[in-house]
Chain A
Amino acid sequence: MSESSGKKGASRRQFLTSVAAVGAGAVAAGAARAAAPDPLITEVQDWARATGDGVDATPYGLPIEYEGDVIRRNVEWLTADTISSINFTPIHALDGTITPQGCAFERHHSGAIALKKEDYRLMINGLVDQPLVFSYADLERFPRENHVYFCECAANSGMEWAGAQLNGAQFTHGMIHNMEYSGVSLRTLLEEAGLGAAGDLKDKWVYVEGADASSNGRSIPMEKALDDCLIAFKANGEALRKEHGYPVRLVVPGWEGNMWVKWLRRIEVMDGPVESREETSKYTDTLEDGTSRKWTWVMDAKSVVTSPSPQAPITHGAGPLVITGLAWSGRGAITGVDVSVDGGKSWQPARLAAPGQDKALTRFYLDITWDGSEMLLQSRARDASGYVQPTKAQLREVRGLNSIYHNNAIQTWWVKASGEAENVEVS
């Protein structure tokens, strides 16, 4: 809560005072009664007298200054340099399911590059009938599709394997965003180059590579490549942002974010995986006995309560309280989310804002009357494959503490009587 700049948000003391005042009123009389007429109502305010900004004051609009704390944040000690680093979506402050591009998390291996559409080239080569080069304009002439998908970094919640570390949903679960992509299916482009030369497609692979200095490359089995992968050039209706791979990125629905190669420049049909750095030395999950799982592409079902949470405390005292959060699964649609306020002793089904969509974020709500006592808040996601989000203890039992990636354990927030919340682990 304590921002170094000072102007953002109320101080802790102000926060506690307001909780005490409102809380007392709410408990005593149900709907609080005003002691005196509210000058915001009885006096004519500046904004009601004078005129506001004209059109074109901001030709491309940004959030109003009062929302200035709803921003991506970085955890400095995680990486050596921001050029090869990650930041976090402020999920604690968002609602609905679509992540605005401007605050959707970034992960770069060699920084975000500025690549013009005119300079963009996409090559398809390898075991294809005709190696091809497409310009950006070429891509816009293929039949287009629109899909909403979540993109989650495999390392999301990775700092929490050994214990509760970071105090905020943004930091524990913010390596995720959810956007509506417009683009061309990878299948369409592969078929344009012709897959006859590849022979039996069952054991074939597609290697995808970015144009930036990291040359991030990943091997994808042909089955997935022909299933639902998308060559995307728009997100949430507008061009991709530079930090998300402008002008073209790959979308690999339900699979770890590292495979969603940004600034996509090359697609190679191969008869085996490249076993690149990012699919051997990184993005592999070391188990307790020292062996490591590779090709752990699918993101398991997961959920988190985004509010209340450490960065989004309860400020209104006892009474009606909206508990809300996000759930998702790389194996399909979310079918249900359960919420516990007692650390997992008992659960109640949350209300899904809309039926779960395939490999996309689902918003859930649990509307309760809070009695003002402390809670151990948890959420538990279920998906269409019958998978139920495990506890941390269950995950550790199979995987130990050194996995780094793919931590999809149930998260606990200790919500105190003051309304403040803290990241904890429970028995």
Chain B
Amino acid sequence: MSKFPNLTLTASIAALILAMPAWAGNYGLGRPALPEEIAAWDVDVSPDGTGLPEGSGSVEDGEAIFADYCAICHGDFAEGVDNWPKLAGGADTLDREDPLKTVGSYWPYLTTTWDYVHRSMPFGNAQTLTPNEVYAIVAYILYSNDLVDDDFVLSNENLLDVEMPNAEGFIVDDRETSEAHFWTAEPCMTGCKDTVEITMRAAVLDVTPEETRAKKVQELIRRTRPEPSREDVTAAAVPADQPATEVAASAEVDPELAAAGETVFKKCKACHQVGDDAKNKTGPILNGIVGASAGHVDGFKYSKAMQEAAEGGLVWSDAELAAFLAKPKSYMKGTKMSFAGLKKDEDIEAVIAYLKSFQ
């Protein structure tokens, strides 16, 4: 955000220049930017607070907004889901192995958090939050990091007063002095060391993608194939009391598609579990969901909307599930599932294939 005192002044300068035949440009290309255009795009916020709009938001409001827009990736408590960024925790870990870098433990300026949430979040629906919503979300992130109390209200007035724990934790690039010994000009060419031994091998860790992927696919093939013996299948994924026909049905799953679905399912894992040890979490267990009646999982408290749909005889066929997953809240008004939906048809198809492998 530029430091012109206000838009009125900028506007008058622009008007003045517009009135002249041409500005000082060498080529006279382009056109003057209008104040409204600059205001629309120039929204960055600097560490001194330049660019922060008026507004405020409470931790309490932030918690609700965070649950709706952010928790799907960052977790209800900003603890992070899978590989999505953790926003809270990690205090005093920066000098340890695998430091946990969060807004609380690492970010030096709170203006950066405000600026980033405002311009780049929520992921998939960026640049839609109002300033007050952003203040509330940032307040909640601070609260998740134990940096403010639960009755805290963040505003443009007090944002710069919040002390960031790692504000003094940065130095400007000093490689040219701290690593001056790398400028040796004439390096050693012979007799540089007496012995050489292999101290670590990549093959031991075995995290190279193609192998990993091949293994995953094989694992899925094993899990979804009824042969060579019933025992194998039962042991792998299918509950012992499942009728044989359902095992046969699961064998139709395309393992490649199911593997792709496993990746898509990362978006669902914050709330749903599958597999032998699955438990109800924010969402119900999804074992056997494809082809099942809506609301069939014991012990899960479904929304009223879902209960009504179940009474109406809704069955999660491929088609119904696909429609639900595309836009949960449009498909079923009142569902508890606070998920925006899967945009790509191939993702929906893949995740259904993956779910079929847990029949």
Q: A residues touching B (Cβ–Cβ < 8 Å)?
A: 1-4, 73-81, 83-84, 109-110, 123-127, 129-135, 138, 141-142, 163-168, 171, 188, 191-194, 196, 207, 209, 213-215, 217, 265-266, 268, 270-277, 280-281, 284, 286, 288-298, 300, 310, 338, 342-348, 376, 380, 382, 385-388, 390, 394, 398, 401-402, 414, 422-427
Contact = CB atoms under 8 A, between A and B. Distances in A.
Contacts of B25: 130, 132, 191-194
B207 A138 contact: no
A167 B41 contact: no
A141 B25 CA distance: 13
Given A193-B25, A194-B25, A275-B111, A79 B46 contact: no
7 contacts: A192-B30, A291-B171, A292-B94, A295-B172, A310-B208, A376-B198, A401-B97
B183 A4 contact: no
Contacts of A79: 83
Interface in B207-264: 207-214, 217, 256, 263
B199 A270 contact: no
B161 interface: no
Interface of B: 2-3, 10, 14, 17, 23-27, 29-33, 37-38, 41-42, 44-48, 73, 81-84, 94-95, 97-99, 101, 103, 106-109, 111-113, 115-116, 119-120, 123-124, 126-127, 169-175, 178-179, 182-185, 187-203, 205, 207-214, 217, 256, 263, 266-267
B321 to A, nearest CB: 21
A141 B159 CA distance: 45
Nearest to B119: A215
Contacts of B41: 123, 125, 209, 265-266
A131 B38 contact: yes
A110 B126 contact: yes
A414 B198 contact: yes
A386 B169 contact: no
A40 to B, nearest CB: 31
Contacts of B95: 288-290
B37 A123 contact: yes
B318 to A, nearest CB: 24
A30 B84 CA distance: 57
Given A110-B120, A290-B99, A338-B187, A166 B207 contact: yes
A271 B203 CA distance: 50
A388 B183 contact: yes
Contacts of B192: 344-347
Given A110-B123, A130-B32, A167-B203, A342 B108 contact: no
Contacts of A426: 196-199
Contacts of A188: 26
Nearest to B190: A346
Contacts of B169: 290-292
A130 B82 contact: no
Contacts of B26: 188, 191-192
A201 to B, nearest CB: 16
Given A270-B2, A293-B174, A402-B99, A81 B31 contact: no
A5 to B, nearest CB: 9
A133 B109 contact: no
Given A281-B112, A286-B94, A390-B182, 7 more contacts: A4-B256, A192-B27, A294-B173, A298-B173, A298-B175, A347-B188, A426-B196
